[in-house]
Amino acid sequence: MYDSTGSRVLLAPDSVFGNRRGGPTTLIGRARGGGRLRRIGSFQAGALARAGIGFLRIVDRDYVELSNLQRQWLFDECDAEQGLPKAMAAAKKIGGINREVRAEPAVADLTASNVDDLLSDVDLILDGTDNFETRYLINDYAVSRKRPWIYGAAVGSYGIAMAVVPSKTACLRCVYPDPPGGVQPTCETAGVLGSVTALVASLQVSEALRILCGLKPSRKITTVDVWSGEIRQVDQPDPVEQCPACGRHEFPYLSEKARAPVSLCGHNAVQIHERDRPLNLRELAARLAPLGSVRNNEFALRFETPPYCITIFPDGRAIIKGTTDVGVARSLYARYIGA
C-alpha cells in the first residue's frame, strides 16, 4: 500500500519504529516512526516501506558484513564489500523499494544520552535490537512517555513478539523484571535461522500496523519455534502493580550517562562507547596506515591488525572484532585510538 500523502515511520538501535508525534497515527495520514537494523530490523524496515509508511528513520550502530546476509533481508554482497553502515545501506535500499518513502539514516548507538533526540517525536517504537540493556532503555523511555512499542527477539530457531501499550498492557519489565541470569544462547553460540527473523519481524510489523491504524494490539505474547513448527500464544496481562516501570515509575536506564562496553551478539566483537569523543577519521587513517590495513569513508574507518579488525565511527565509538574480552577490547582502543 503506497501512500502519496507522505505517511511516515521511524526505524531506530541494533531496530525501532514509530510515528512522529503530532501527526495522525494512520498509515494514510502523516504517520511517522523509528527502528534499529539487527537481524529482524532489516525485514521490518523493508516491510514497512512496502506498506507505504512514508518516513523511516533508521538508527543502527553497525556495518554490513557477509555473515549478515543469510538473516538480514535488505542487504547484499555489494554493501558488505563496501563496508557500508547498515543504516546508510538500508536507506539506499528503501529508496529502491518505494521512492515515496523518505528514509533518514542515523549511524549511532541508542543510549540514555541520545534516546530523547532520536525518539521524542515518534508515536510508536518497534524493537529490532539484540540485547536486553537496550530493550530496557526503550521500555523505560516508552513507558515514561506513554509511547507504544513492539518487543521482538530471535535466536536459533526460536522467536518471541509482544506489543506494549503503556497503562494498557504489561510492559517488558512486567514480564522480565530483571535481565535473564546465567549463560544465554546468542547468535554466536546458537546461530539464528533467517526464517525465524522474518516471522518475528512480520508479527511485529502486523502489530505496528494495527496500532498505527488506531486499532488495539492483539494483547498476545507469541512464541515460535520454526524448526519444530510449534507456535504458542498466551494472553498478555495488564500492567503489574509492582513493576519497576509501570507500577513504581522507576526508570534507571534513562539515567545512565555512560555506555559500558558490550559484547555484540553473533560478532565475536566488543563495542566501546563510554563517552562522546568526536574523531577526524581522515587524520586517524593517516596515523594508523603504517600499522596495518586501513579503509575509510565519511561514515566509518576500518583498521585491520590481525587477528583483530577495529571499526571506528566519527563519534568515537568503536567495534573491536576478534575478541569478546572487554579488557582486551579496551586495551586495543587505548593503543590505537587513545584512552
pLDDT in tens, 17-32: 444 443 332 232 233 4
pLDDT mean over 251-264:
72
Same domain, 35 and 124: yes
Q: What is residue 25's predicted lDDT score, i.e. its pLDDT?
A: 29
Same domain, 140 and 278: no
* Mean pLDDT for the chain overall: 81
Q: What is residue 5's predicted lDDT score, i.e. its pLDDT?
A: 39
Same domain, 294 and 231: no
Question: What distance in Å separates the CA atoms of residue 259 and residue 145, rounded to the nearest whole number?
Answer: 22
68 lies in some domain: yes
Nearest to 148 by CA among 223, 57, 210: 210
pTM of the model: 0.73
285 lies in some domain: yes
Residues 6+ apart with CB under 8 A from 150: 17, 124, 125, 126, 127, 161, 162, 163, 164, 204, 207, 208
The CATH code of the domain that includes 266 is 3.30.310.10
List b or e across 33-46, with b for residues whose CB sees 16 or more CB atoms inside 10 angstroms.
Answer: bbbbbbbbbbbbbb
Question: What distance in Å separates the CA atoms of residue 60 and residue 207, rounded to the nearest whole number?
Answer: 22
Q: Which grid cell is 59?
A: 538508527
Question: What distance in Å separates the CA atoms of residue 80 and residue 36, rounded to the nearest whole number?
Answer: 18
Same domain, 118 and 217: yes
pLDDT mean over 42-69:
83
3 lies in some domain: no
pLDDT mean over 54-63:
80
Does the bond joining 290 to the residue before it have cis omega, within 30 degrees of 0? no
Q: Answer whether residue 248 shows pLDDT above 60.
A: yes
- Strand 125-126 versus strand 149-155 pairing type: parallel
In degrees, rounded to 5, the angle at the alpha carbon of residue 45 between the alpha carbons of residues 102 and 36 is 100
The total of structural domains in the chain comes to 2
Same domain, 297 and 150: no
Q: What is residue 262's predicted lDDT score, i.e. its pLDDT?
A: 66
Cα–Cα separations (whole angstroms), residue 208 to 35, 148, 305 = 12, 9, 43
Same domain, 148 and 227: yes
Q: Which of 10-24, 49-63, 294-308 has the lowest mean pLDDT?
A: 10-24
pLDDT mean over 154-170:
94
Q: Answer whether residue 238 shows pLDDT above 70.
A: yes
Same domain, 231 and 265: no
252 lies in some domain: no
pLDDT mean over 58-69:
80
Question: What distance in Å separates the CA atoms of residue 59 and residue 35, rounded to the nearest whole number?
Answer: 6
22 lies in some domain: yes
- Tell me which residue range forms the domain holding 103: 10-235
The CATH code of the domain that includes 104 is 3.40.50.720
Of the pLDDT bands very low, low, confident and very high (cuts 50, 70, 90), residue 268 is confident
Q: What is residue 55's predicted lDDT score, i.e. its pLDDT?
A: 80
Of the pLDDT bands very low, low, confident and very high (cuts 50, 70, 90), residue 260 is low
Q: What is residue 303's predicted lDDT score, i.e. its pLDDT?
A: 93
Q: What is residue 61's predicted lDDT score, i.e. its pLDDT?
A: 76
Of the pLDDT bands very low, low, confident and very high (cuts 50, 70, 90), residue 54 is confident
Q: What is residue 147's predicted lDDT score, i.e. its pLDDT?
A: 94
Nearest to 259 by CA among 317, 197, 176, 191: 317
Q: What is residue 110's predicted lDDT score, i.e. its pLDDT?
A: 84
